């Protein structure tokens, strides 16, 4: 048998094996959609087609001025800003974010990041992005959660945008208290000097996309962007997975 045929045969056999294994495993350990809980089909990953289709997308990336860019107006110089989707309290999409943050389901972030990145590639404002930087978590918190959820989102986005992921330049230097019980000014004071940029060399003249999981007051993102803007010739855009 010529090697090429042998290779082809092995390839189709291995495909058959993998797909049979998937069916077999799924029979005993069915994989469920992280949003609605229904069983996933073979071609679906993490989130089912129906939940992806019904995702309340903002499409803000197709308009320069939008509710997310308005948040930063007059506060910090941002090129473009957007969020992938919005969620209501108690919705399956809020639960999805909760699972990503607290239930050690990193694949939710990576998969949604991939979809978000694909969408952004349709916008001329985001196609010029050189590198993606996630909002950092304090090392202690990262250890407790086992990963930084924003980094997982950024990882998926870097993949589909064919861009570089830089996760070690922007760092969180102070362990801040939880933001959830604070008002706008308290939140801003709380994060003002929390972040630092290790070295601006790798950021010079780059278009950086700063990524976070959820945007509320924008205080954290504003603080991160201020630090990044210390690099010469840098342009900073913002992309959040969800708007609360
Ligand atoms: Zn679903």
CA of 184 to the centre of ligand 1 (A): 34
Q: Where does residue 204 rank: exposed (0-12), middle (13-18), buried (19+ CB within 10 A)? A: exposed
CA of 47 to the centre of ligand 1 (A): 5
Torsion of CA 230, 168, 124, 67, to 10 degrees: -70
pLDDT at 22: 64
Query: So where are the chain's domains?
Result: 55-243
pLDDT-based confidence at 175, cuts 50/70/90? low
43: tokens are: 């071609």
In a 3-state reduction of DSSP, which class is residue 178?
coil
CB 207 within 8 A of CB 79: yes
Q: Calculate ∠ Cα 57-159-191, nearest 5°.
A: 65
Q: What CATH number is given for 55-243 in this structure? A: 3.40.50.2020
pLDDT-based confidence at 12, cuts 50/70/90? confident
CA of 133 to the centre of ligand 1 (A): 29
**Interval 132-154 mean pLDDT:** 93
* pLDDT tens profile 73-103: 999 999 999 999 999 999 999 999 999 999 9
Q: Where does residue 26 rank: exposed (0-12), middle (13-18), buried (19+ CB within 10 A)? A: middle
- CA 150 to CA 148: how far, in whole Å? 6
Residue 152 has pLDDT above 90, yes or no: yes
CA of 12 to the centre of ligand 1 (A): 30
pLDDT at 188: 62
**Interval 163-167 mean pLDDT:** 96
* pLDDT tens profile 24-48: 666 566 689 999 999 999 889 999 9
Q: Kindly report the pTM of this predicted structure.
A: 0.84
CA of 191 to the centre of ligand 1 (A): 35
Q: Which of 39-43, 188-192, 228-232 has the highest mean pLDDT?
A: 228-232
């Amino acid at each position: 048998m010529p090697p090429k045929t042998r290779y082809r045969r092995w390839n189709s056999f291995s495909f058959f094996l993998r797909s049979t294994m998937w069916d077999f495993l799924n029979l005993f350990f069915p994989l469920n959609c992280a949003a609605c809980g229904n069983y996933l089909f073979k071609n679906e990953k993490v989130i089912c087609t129906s939940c992806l289709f019904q995702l309340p997308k903002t499409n803000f990336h197709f308009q320069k001025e939008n509710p997310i860019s308005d948040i930063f107006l007059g506060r910090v110089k941002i090129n473009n800003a957007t969020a992938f989707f919005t969620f209501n309290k108690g919705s399956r999409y809020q639960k999805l974010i909760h699972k990503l943050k607290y239930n050690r389901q990193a694949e939710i972030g990576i998969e949604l990041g991939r979809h978000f990145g694909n969408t952004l590639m349709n916008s001329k404002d985001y196609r010029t992005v050189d590198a993606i930087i996630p909002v950092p978590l304090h090392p202690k918190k990262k250890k407790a959660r086992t990963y930084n959820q924003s980094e997982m989102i950024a990882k998926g986005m870097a993949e589909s945008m064919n861009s570089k992921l830089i996760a070690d330049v922007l760092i969180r230097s102070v362990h801040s208290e939880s933001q959830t019980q604070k008002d706008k000014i308290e939140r801003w004071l709380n994060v003002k000097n929390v972040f630092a940029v290790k070295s601006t060399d790798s950021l010079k003249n780059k278009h950086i996309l700063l990524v976070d999981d959820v945007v509320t007051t924008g205080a954290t993102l504003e603080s991160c962007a201020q630090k990044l803007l210390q690099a010469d010739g840098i342009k900073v855009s913002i992309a959040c997975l969800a708007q609360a």
